[in-house]
Structure 1
Amino acid sequence: MGVSLGAGVALAHFQGERDAAAPTARAPRSEAPPVPAPTTAAPTPKPTPSKKPKPKPKPKPKPTATTRKPPTVPQSGPGTFTTATASGKVSGTSGTLRRYRVQIEEGVDLSARGTAEEIEAILAHPRGWAAHGRGRFQLVASDADFVIRIATPDTADALCARQGFNTHGELNCETADGVVVNLKRWMLGSPTFAGPPEEYRHLIINHEVGHEIGIRQHMGCGGPGKPAPAMMQQIKGLNGCRSNAFPYSEDGIYITGPIVS
């Protein structure tokens, strides 16, 4: 933006007229600049000591999450069981109704009722047997069609051995009167399963109850990268499959594989 400045030039006009009587005298001009009046200098203020800011308190370190110790699993127990005094609604809309009761070996740190309710939720899961017409299930306290027992490794071995199974203190089995679940697997999960014990419990129940509803044979991996069938003995190795706890996919497709035993 341009600014136009008009400069006013003041011209001093000297009188050029001549006075016939006498010339006009000019006032004398001093060349020395005027001397300023002396001023009294203000005293220099003394610096006041500055207060150091108080250091801010260091934030307390946040507690870091510690790795939860796995629960201690007793190797053996008395071989006697507590029955969960619980009953529930029927899950599923088609197929044979199968009533089941849940028993926990005495001396084991598990709530019989709480465990029964967890199993009830597993059997009612939308990717489970009941949701896809493979049977109906109901938790009862008595007059059951089959029983689900959770037992210490030694007791589980003894119960499974009666059916001719060698479970090596590690495995579960299906017997003439129901399902035997190794407490070690229930509490700790499986080293081959990529998920927490809570999810692995779905696989335990779905696999053994799968036998209970008539699926007698085991399956193998359906192909590299595919989810392992629930009827696969996943604890013995995945053979290229991904660990999976459910009989059906999220799209409702039955997860299968070749018959191996």
Structure 2
Amino acid sequence: MSDDQINPPQHQDHQPGRETEMTPAPDFAPKFPGNGRLAGKVAIITGGDSGIGRACAVLFAREGAEVAIVYLEETEDAKITADAIKAEGKNVLLLRGDVGEKAFCDNVVGKVIEEFGKIDVLVNNAAEQHPQEEITDISEEQLEKTFRTNIFGYFFMTQAAMPHLQSGASIVNTTSVTAYRGSPELLDYASTKGAILAFTRSLSGSLAEKGIRVNAVAPGPIWTPLIPATFPEDKVAEFGASQPMKRPGQPNEVATCHLFLACDESSYISGQVLHPNGGEIVGG
């Protein structure tokens, strides 16, 4: 690996990517001992098999939560995450399917209620991205698929969970730095992330009187399976180098933001966004 490379060049030909195929493996392990911040809570995490979702799932378990992981098809990654949750002494439910389908989201919530009896935290995190150089290169099929996963799924999961969310519950949405500064090669992806930002702010106002908080996290470049599954080898090798910290972030550097917004330490915060992005200044 040359001096200007941060990670070895690599590429995966399938989305959303597999953590088992990454070199080096992303760092998802919690950095600190748990303090019971989510003791007795039940959390649903979409895209929870790998990347930021995996880091959230294991961290939430360390903090006392039972966790339901929703994932598309990466069964091996999901099993590794499940084992890590069990190692923290908590129960886990694995649910495979497409969050872009409303019936599946309804089924997820039904199975979580059947297994755990309640829902306290919903983390909407599943996403996909497909770079194109020109807006005319984005097919109707790609546009619909990206929006179905990245924003329709957030609506569907929230709609399904709402009848079971009580005062004190928390919804945490994963948006992106691209919602603030855009991304020329990820027009549809960045558009969905902007929609998530508006969704977060609007929903927080809608649910405030019910005592349900809604916030978001806007990561910058984070070393997750989505990266080698999206970009060519040369871009993967330099991924994160343009940030002020000159490196990509690790999933466990983002999950702490989700934890803070999910637990009672942020009890007077709603409609807000945290920015783990390596020092990039974004407004709004």
Same fold (TM over 0.5): no
Instruction: Please identify the structure whose Cα radius of gyration is greater.
Output: 1
Per chain length, whose mean CA-contact separation is higher, i.e. which structure has more relative contact order (CA < 8 Å, sep 6+)? 2
State TM-score, norm by structure 1: 0.34
State TM-score, norm by structure 2: 0.32
